[in-house]
Amino acid sequence: MKFLDLAKVYIRSGSGGNGCVSFRREKFIEYGGPNGGDGGGGGDVWAEAVDGLNTLIDFRYQQHFFAKSGQAGMGQGKTGKDGDDITLRVPVGTEILDDDEETLIADLTEPGQRVLLARGGNGGWGNLHFKTATNQAPRHANPGQPGVERTIWLRLKLIADVGLLGLPNAGKSTFLAATSNARPKIADYPFTTLVPNLGVVGIDGVELVVADIPGLIEGASEGKGLGDLFLGHVERSAALLHLVDGSSGDPVQDWQVIVNEIETYGEGLSDKPRLTVLSKIDTLDAEERQFLADELREAGAGEVLLMSAVSGEGVTEVLRALRRLVRAEAEPAEDEAEEGPWQP
């Protein structure tokens, strides 16, 4: 299945049905009076977050979604049938933006969340509705209200516990393939990963969802390489795993490039808990490993773990460290939920 995380969609709610002008015409009833029914209401347009989707590819092949209009009212006081609603099924983590691509309409972060995007028009009143003591035979009815037409943008931000960061060929896809059932493309050239991948990693009976995004390069915030187009997919992560290639020749510079790019990107990424890991240590001897790890710590990387996803060395320690970071982030949120809103 192809990956798509941004889609433009045109929606229109249904128009209301017109009211009916009608009079009773029955044998032996001389003054039948008005009996025109009201028009039916137009259908609404909804969006709903559903499980089992992780791409917006369906909206590449269908961009127009129109709800049904209401049926016009009829004689004998019959109300027209309401128009059917229409629901856009989107992946969990989808943001719905207005046509300006900036105004947030809704952020669907949990399965089953629904939001009304366009309300259908009301049905018009029939002439039966206008009968009064002084107007026994009204000869007018209301037209139905028109539906709402608008253009919206759908932007998907994957929801994961851990987001992977690093330069191209830092070993992100190899790590994901070695620790989960995900099968991302792996090769010995840059930008092997062109779209984000999700994998479920298990450690000590706990499962973590890990998001692998295409590698960043210096100037990604200015659009170089694949740019920072996919950084939005790690915005919701509880923690970040920053992989630094130990065989690159200058790991400290590689680390600094990624730090600069996420600081330039903003959106709170630089404030998230981040674990720095020196990867591909199977290509280094013990002295080189220690030297490079010390250099990264001196540069400001904090605690640095060593790992080789190929040989499996250090992988368990990295996963346990990630589990601690994710749990530490989750506990304050759980405490706030238990305390509930402040009461005066």
Feature table: binding site for GTP: 166-173, 191-195, 212-215, 279-282, 308-310
Nearest to 47 by CA among 75, 7, 4, 101: 7
| Binding positions for Mg(2+) | 173, 193
| Binding positions | 166-173, 191-195, 212-215, 279-282, 308-310
